[in-house]
Amino acid sequence: MGYIDDNLIPGEHVMFRTHLHWKVFLPPVLLFLISFPIIGIAMNQGLNTYVSLAVLVLPLGALLSAYLKWRCFEFGVTDKRVLIKTGIVGRHTLETLLTKVENIGVEQTLWGRFFNYGTIYVTGTGSTKETFPGIHAPLEFRKAIEAAAVAFEERRSGGRIPTGQT
């Protein structure tokens, strides 16, 4: 179980969940691709096989780091809150009631639009702004927050449109 599941309020249900985009794995993969020719050249020059294979320590460390980051960063929307947890050893969390979310911004580059990742900006009451880059499906995340907020407001008002609105 992850952070989101462990911190649900009784009766609360997860409506949408996402994580970091797979692009987090690109640097370690590129390191692996670069290291294989280096290992081949080193072995061809007569360097000890085990010393040559030590070149893989850096890419393996980078891959492990990327995997832990991908696995440990959680983003979710429930029927009552927005829950976000980042960090591997240290932890940064954001748990905001849907009624306290003022704005959800999404920023995507051309590559982000093409590969479906981007940066999310969550602004809560009191103008606190949190930034979360590299999120998979950021537009769907924003849409889930908006849908959950509307459904929450409808439940709270008993399906009536609040006064002053048409």
Question: pLDDT for 100-124, tens place per residue?
Answer: 888 899 999 999 999 999 999 998 8
User: Which comes out higher in pLDDT, residue 136 or 155?
Assistant: 136
User: What is the domain count for the chain?
Assistant: 2
Please measure the distance between the N-terminal and C-terminal CA atoms of the chain and give it in whole angstroms: 43
User: Which comes out higher in pLDDT, residue 11 or 165?
Assistant: 11
Q: In this structure, is residue 8 part of a structural domain? A: yes
Question: pLDDT for 58-95, tens place per residue?
Answer: 889 999 999 999 999 999 999 999 999 999 889 999 88
Domain interval for residue 102: 3-20+75-156
Q: What is the pLDDT of residue 18?
A: 94
pTM of the model: 0.80
| 144, HSE (Cβ side, Cα atoms, 13 Å) | 21
Question: pLDDT for 143-158, tens place per residue?
Answer: 999 999 888 888 887 7
Distance CA 125, CA 160 (A): 24
Distance CA 21, CA 2 (A): 18
Q: What is the pLDDT of residue 40?
A: 80
Q: What is the pLDDT of residue 44?
A: 80
Pairing, β 81-86 against β 92-97: antiparallel
Domain boundary among 42, 66, 90: 66
Distance CA 54, CA 23 (A): 25
Residue with tokens 């990327």: 66
Q: How far is CA 151 from CA 6, 78, 96, 155, in A?
A: 23, 11, 16, 6
Residues 85 and 142 in one domain: yes
Q: In this structure, is residue 42 part of a structural domain? A: yes
Q: In this structure, is residue 126 part of a structural domain? A: yes
Distance CA 86, CA 83 (A): 10
Q: What is the pLDDT of residue 111?
A: 95
Residues 99 and 43 in one domain: no
Task: Indicate if the pLDDT at residue 29 is higher than 90.
Answer: yes
> Which residue, among 16, 15, 25, 21, has the nearest Cα to 136 in the 3D structure?
21
Residues 34 and 7 in one domain: no
Q: In this structure, is residue 55 part of a structural domain? A: yes
Residue 109 is part of a domain; what is its CATH number? Answer: 2.30.29.30
Q: What is the pLDDT of residue 138?
A: 96
Residues 59 and 37 in one domain: yes
